[in-house]
Structure 1
Amino acid sequence: MSLLTIDIDYLTKVLKQLLSIPSPTGYTDELARFVSKELERLGVFYEVTRRGAIRARIDGKKTKPARAFVSHLDTLGAQVKALKDNGRLELVPIGNWSARFAEGARTTVFSENGAYTGTILPIKASGHTFNDGIDTLPVGWDYVELRIDAYSKSVEDLHRLGVDIGDIVAIDPAPEFLENGFIVSRHLDNKAGVAVMLAALKSMAESTKKPTVDVFWLFTIAEETGHGATSILTPEIASLVAIDNGTSAPGQNSDEFGVTIAMADQTGPFDYHLTRKMAQLCRDNDIKFQKDVFRYYRSDAASAIEAGADVRTALITFGVDASHGYERIHMHALRSLSELCTGYAYSPVEIQRDAREFASLKGFTHQPTEDADQELSPETEEPGAEPAE
C-alpha cells in the first residue's frame, strides 16, 4: 500500500493559524469557523452542530462500515472566579492543568466590553517585597491572580472595565517553530491533532483515489472538560480513531518521533483489533511507531464509549513533552500520523460484519487463547462469513 504525500508546508501553516485563534473550552466559535472555512476551501463536505462541533466526510466506495477520525478544537484555559479588592482576578482552570504552568503566562480576558491582555502572577510576585516568601508560596490556583493590562486597583475599576465573574481567559500559546523540526507551544494538545487531520484531508481531497468506505472527520469542542465525542457520531460509523497527544515522560513509552499507539487509557483497553491494525499499517508502510499505556488520560474516544456508542476505538498520538504544560512536539510525529490516516482510509475492511449494528456470530472476530497455535486475526474467516474486501 502506498501512502499519500503529506504537504509539510501546509501542515506547518495551518498549525500556526490554529494556534493563533484562542479556543479554551466554551469559547470555540471562531476556531470552528476557521476549520469550517478551511474544509470548504479544500472542497470537503461538512456540517456544524448547534454548539459548533464539526462533522466532515469524504465519500468512499461504500457507505458502511464507515470509519472516523476525531480531534478536539478546544484547549485548556481559565475563567474568572472572583473580582479581588486589589483590582486583580481570581481564577479557576478550564480543564485539568496545574497552576504551576499558569504562573507567568500571558493571557487574554474576554469581557462583554472587549478583550484585555494580562499576566497570571503568584500572589507574592515581587522578590524585593516578599524575599524568600516567593519561594515558599504553595502551588495552586488559590495562590495566583490575573493582573489586567489596564487601570485596575479595585473591584469598582474592574466593573468599569466590564470585567465580570465567568469571563473566559485564554492562555497565549507563544509558539516557536524551530528549523530542526521541534515545535514549542501551549495548546499543541490538540491543535496539532487538528492540523494532522487537515493535512491528511488535503492529501485525500487532492487525490483521485476513493477511500475504501466513507471516512468521517470529527472536530469536537469540549474534550478538555470530558464531553468530547459524546453526540457527533452517526450510526454507520463502526470504528473511531482519536488523534491526540501522547505523554513523553519518564515511565512512558511515548516518543516525540513517529506514531505512539495507545493500548489503554484510564477508561480501559482500546479495541483489540483496531489498535493492532494501526500497528500493522505502520509496519507495512515503514512508519516508525511505539505503543504505550496511559494511566491518567482520557480522549474523545473515551467519551464516545461512555455515551453509549457501539464503535471500535483506537488512539494514535504524537508524543508531547510536558503535556498540559510548556509543550514540545516534533514535525516527524505529525507527518507520520497524517500518513497513517491516509493508510487507514485506503486499507481494506477486514471485519465486514461491522457494517451491521446487530448480527449473528457469522463473521465475528477471534482473539487468541493459550491453546491457539497461532493468533487468529480479523481476516480469518469462518465458514459462511462474508468475504473481506
Structure 2
Amino acid sequence: MENYVDFAVQKAVELLAIDSPTGYTAEAEEFVLREFRALGFAAERTAKGGILIDLGGENADDALLLEAHADTLGGMVAEIKGDGRLRIVNVGGMNANNAEAENCRVVTKFSGSYEGTLQLINASVHVNGDYASTKRSWDTVEVVLDEAVESADDVKALGISVGDFVCFEPRTRVTKSGYIKSRFLDDKLSVGILLGFAKYLHDEGKTPARRVYAHVTVYEEVGHGGSASVPAGVTEAISVDMGCVGAGLQCTERQVSICAKDSGGPYSYDVVKKLIAAAQKEGADYAVDIYPYYGSDVEATLRAGYDIRHGLIGAGVYASHGYERSHRDGVLNTLRVLRGYLF
C-alpha cells in the first residue's frame, strides 16, 4: 500500500484547497465525483449532495459501505454591524478560540466572495486592556472585512447579507518529515485515503469477495451525513474518519485508530474484532481507543433505522477541530487495515 500514500495525500491536499463548510459543498462534491470516475468507478451525486461510489465486488447481499465526509467546519453571517464588522455563528463545531486571527472568505449568494479576518472585538493589545482576560466566544469575535467599509450600508452594497457562508483558510502544509498539517483534515484526509484505496483496486485489478460501496457525505459535521443513501444489500458500514489523538488515548498521528466506543456508544463488537484482526494481518501500526466527545457518520446511519453492523477507523489526528496534524504513516496504516478487512 506504500505506493498509494502519496496519491492519497495529494488528493487530500487538493480537496483541502476547496472551501466546503457544511451546506456549501457543491465544488467539493464535484471534485470527489470527478476523481472517482477518473479511476473508472461508477459514482453519482445523491439528492442530498453526497457522492455514492460503487467500488465493485462479488457478493452484493453482504455488502460493505465505507463512509467519509467532505464537509467541514465554518461560519455564517448572522449580523451586519453598524460599523461594518460581521457577527457570525459557527457551522458545525467550529470553536471561536481556534478560529481567532484566521483569514477567511465571506461567500455571498450573488456577488462573489470577499476576504477578511476573524478577530477579537477591539483586537489591538495596545488599546484593549482586557484583551487577555476576554472569554472567546462567537459574541466576542467578529469578521473584519478587507474592504473599505465603515457602515452596514457599505457592507450591504458589496452584496454581503445574513446567511452568507464564512470559509476559513486551511493553511495546508506537508512537511519533509511526512507530517500533514491543515484545518479540516477531519475528514478530507479520509476522502483522500478512500481515493487511494480506489486507485489500489483499479491499478491492481482487485475485486473484493463482497460488494463495496463508498459514500462521501456532506452533512457529517451537523450530524446527519450518513443518515440516507445506503445501497441495498449493505450489512456493514465503516466510517473512515479522523482518529483521535490526545490525553488518555493510545493513538498517535502515525497510527491508524480503531474506535471501540464513542459518545454514541460501543461500535459493533464483531466489526471491531475484525478490524483489529485486519490490522494484525497486514502488520499495520494501530491503536484501539475510546473517544469521549465524538460522533460519526455510521451512527447517523444506525439512527436512521438501517439494520447494519458498524465500525470506525481513521488516521490519527491531533488538535481536532483546530489546526490539525496527521502523518503519512497514519494514511498508510489506514490503507493497510482497509486492505486487510477486504482481502
What TM-score results when the alignment is normalised by the length of structure 1? 0.86
Please name the residue that 1:245 is paired with: 242
Show the 5 A alignment for 1:76-155.
Answer: 76-111=73-108, 112-130=110-128, 132-155=129-152
Which deviations, in whole Å up to 9, do the C-alpha atoms of 1:230-278 show, x marking residues without a partner?
0021231101010111221112222211211000111110001011100
SS in 2 for 1:133: coil
In structure 1, C-alpha distance between the alignment counterparts of 2:336 and 2:60, rounded to whole Å: 22
Contact 1:110 1:167 in 2 (8 A): yes
Q: Which residue of 2 aligns with 1:48?
A: 45
**Do the aligned partners of 1:221 and 1:228 also contact (CA within 8 Å) in 2?**
yes
Give the distance between the partners of 1:255 and 1:64, measured in 2 at CA.
36
Amino acid at match of 1:323: S
The corresponding residue for 1:179 is: 176
SS at match of 1:142: coil
Tell me, in whole angstroms, the C-alpha distance in 1 between the residues paired with 2:263 and 2:200.
34
Q: Which amino acid aligns with 1:24?
A: P
Secondary structure, aligned partner of 1:202: helix
Contact 2:282-2:336 at 8 Å conserved across structures: no
Query: 2:12 is aligned with what amino acid?
Result: L
In structure 1, C-alpha distance between the alignment counterparts of 2:125 and 2:282, rounded to whole Å? 56
Name 1:324's counterpart in structure 2. 321
For residues 76 and 58 of structure 2, the distance between their equivalents in structure 1, rounded to whole angstroms, comes to 46
Identity %: 33
Structure 2 unaligned blocks of 5 or more = none
CA contact (8 A) 2:251 2:286 kept: no
Maintained 8 Å contact 1:200/1:339 = no
One-letter identity of the residue aligned with 1:118: G
The CA deviation at 1:5 is 4.9
Tell me the secondary structure at the aligned position of residue 170 of structure 1.
strand
Secondary structure of 1:238's partner?
strand
Structure 1 stretch displaced more, 5-14 or 188-197 = 5-14
CA distance in 1, matches of 2:64, 2:336: 16
One-letter identity of the residue aligned with 2:139: D
Q: How is 1:205-220 mapped onto 2 (pairs within 5 angstroms)?
A: 205-220=202-217
Is residue 263 of structure 1 aligned with residue 260 of structure 2? yes
Indicate which of 256, 279, 284 corresponds to 2:281: 284
Q: Contact 2:75 / 2:94 at 8 angstroms: preserved in 1?
A: no
Deviation of 1:96 (Å) = 1.4
CA deviations 1:100-131 (Å, max 9, x no partner) are: 0010111011012111111000002001211x
Q: Within 2, Cα distance between the matches of 1:248 and 1:209?
A: 33
Paired residue for 1:229, among 213, 226, 234?
Answer: 226
In structure 1, the gaps of 5 or more residues are: 347-389
Partner of 1:304: 301
Secondary structure, counterpart of 1:12 in structure 2: helix
Distance 1:192 1:209 in 2: 23
The structure, 1 or 2, with the larger RCO (C-alpha pairs under 8 Å, 6+ apart) is 2
- Deviation of 1:9 after TM superposition, in Å, equals 2.4
Of 305, 309, 312, the match for 1:315: 312
| Matched pairs, number | 342
| CA apart distance, 1:77 | 0.2
Q: Is the 8 A contact 1:99 1:144 kept in 2?
A: yes
Structure 1 position 293 matched with structure 2 position 290: yes
Equivalent residues of 1:5, 1:339 under 8 A apart: no
User: What's the CA shift for 1:6?
Assistant: 3.9
SS of the residue corresponding to residue 131 of structure 2 reads helix
CA contact (8 A) 1:6 1:339 kept: no
For residues 45 and 19 of structure 2, the distance between their equivalents in structure 1, rounded to whole angstroms, comes to 19
Hey, what's the Cα distance between the residues in 1 that align with 2:190 and 2:336? 13
CA contact (8 A) 2:281 2:340 kept: no
2:36 corresponds in structure 1 to 39
Distance 1:124 1:276 in 2: 53
Bigger shift: residues 58-67 or 308-317: 58-67
Q: Secondary structure at the match of 1:17?
A: helix
Aligned partner of 1:275 in structure 2 is: 272
> Residue 117 of structure 1: SS of its match in structure 2?
strand
Question: Residues 20-39 of structure 1 correspond to what in structure 2 (within 5 A)?
Answer: 20-39=17-36
The separation in 2 between residues aligned to 1:13 and 1:246, in whole angstroms, is 20
Which is worse superposed, 231-240 or 185-194? 231-240
* Alignment partner, residue 62 of structure 2: 65
TM-score after normalising by structure 2:
0.97
Checking the alignment, whether the CA contact within 8 Å between 2:242 and 2:315 is kept in structure 1 is yes
Residue 238 of structure 1 aligns with an amino acid whose one-letter code is: T
